[in-house]
Every structure is written in C-alpha cells, then in structure tokens.
Amino acid sequence: MSLIRATLLASAALCALATPSFAADTTDGFKWENLQIRVRAINVNPDVDSTVSAGGTVSASTTTVPELDFTYFWTDHIASELILATTKHDMDTSAAGSIGDVWLLPPTLTLQYHFNTREATFRPYVGAGLNYTFFYNEDPSPVASVNYKNGMGFALQAGFDYGISKNWAINFDVKKLFLNTKAVVNGAVNADVDLDPWISGVGLSYRF
C-alpha cells in the first residue's frame, strides 16, 4: 500500500500547486473511506501506426485480461487512479509475417473529475494522465531477436460507476493510451511503432 499511496500523493502534490483550496483538502492524511478499488476485465485493442526501415507495417493482436486499479478521492469530485494490468500481444509485419510476441506492463496514473458524489447512483467521470510502458519476456520466434524500447506516454479516460449498494458499484471505463516504442528486429531492421491502444473495461468497484 505504501507504493500506491506514494504515487497518489505525488499526483495530488502537482494539483495542489495549481489549486490552493485543493491543497487544503489533502492535509488530513490517508482515509480509508476515500479509497476505491476496482477489478475489471479489459479489452486492449492496439491502434497501430508504424514506420519500418525495410518497408511494410507492424500490427499487434487484441487481447483481453484482468485489471486492478486503486482510486483515491482527495475531494468529493477530484480523484487519482492508479491502473495496473499486463498484456501479451502477438506482433506481425506485413513484409515478413510474425515477429513473435511480447508482454507489456503499462502502469497508468490519471487525475479524474467525478461529476457526482458517492451518494448518487450514476457517477460519471473523466480523466487524463501518464503511463510508462515496460516491454518484457519477448519471444522473437520465428526471427532471431526483437528488442523493444520502454517509453512514457499520455492517457485519456472516461467512464462511470453505477451504484448497486452503499459500497459496491458496476463500472464501465474506456481509456486511450498514446504509446510509442522503437523496435529492432535481428539487429538490423528498425521500426518506429505507435501502439496507441483503446482499452475498454467492465467490472466491479468497492468504495470503503
């Protein structure tokens, strides 16, 4: 929990610089009743644009995985959300076919505005933030090697919670990540790839 709290506090500090009244609301310390946890099933659909030194284009498969996120409400309407999930994608080129698969870990932190308070049944929100994507466990088969460069990008978000009890809600969420990587195939072919996935999810929220 300490890493999550530190990340959320860093986001809050940036907001406090711009909004003095907001800063006054974040000085009372951590409160469990301000914490919301969600579990979602998400569909990750890359919207790929690429430039390849040997010609052709790159494509990445769509995948569905579980996601966990933590949201902390600094006020009734302002919150920070830390989004955690990892996905595996098959990678292909139009010129040479499959270049294997790779896992992505894109922890994403967004700052959200919630239009209604927790007392409302329908609680829509929008958000924007940053993600840093790690590429790992590359399986380059059938080529000799593929290396991907980690990178930072922006994130946009919109969704809603629909309350079904005092603490529980159904959640629907859509995010757009802007994610670029540089890939090197067999040490010779260079590709500049914008993955830019659309991420749609549905799940359950629990507010303490």
Q: Which two tokens stand for residue 56?
A: 């052709």
pLDDT of residue 11: 47
Segment holding 17, helix H or strand E = helix 2-18
pLDDT of residue 29: 83
Condensed to tens digits (0 to 9), the pLDDT of residues 80-130 reads: 999 999 999 999 998 878 999 999 999 999 999 999 999 999 999 999 999
Query: What is the dihedral sign for C-alpha 147, 149, 153, 158?
Result: positive
Determine how many CB atoms are found less than 10 A away from the CB of residue 113. 13
pLDDT of residue 31: 92
pLDDT of residue 197: 96
pLDDT of residue 69: 96
DSSP 171-191: EEEEEEE--EEEEEETTTEEE
Contact criterion met (CB below 8 Å) for 60 and 46: yes
Query: What is the dihedral sign for C-alpha 138, 143, 145, 150?
Result: negative
CA distance 23 to 86: 33
pLDDT of residue 95: 81
> What residue ranges define each of the domains in the chain, with the CATH number in brackets?
36-207 (2.40.160.20)
CA distance 109 to 130: 6
pLDDT of residue 55: 85
Q: What percentage of residues in the chain have a pLDDT greater than 90?
A: 76
Condensed to tens digits (0 to 9), the pLDDT of residues 44-85 reads: 999 999 999 888 899 999 999 999 999 999 999 999 999 999
Judged against a pLDDT cut of 70, whether residue 17 lies above it is answered with no
- Tell me the whole-structure pTM to 2 decimals: 0.83
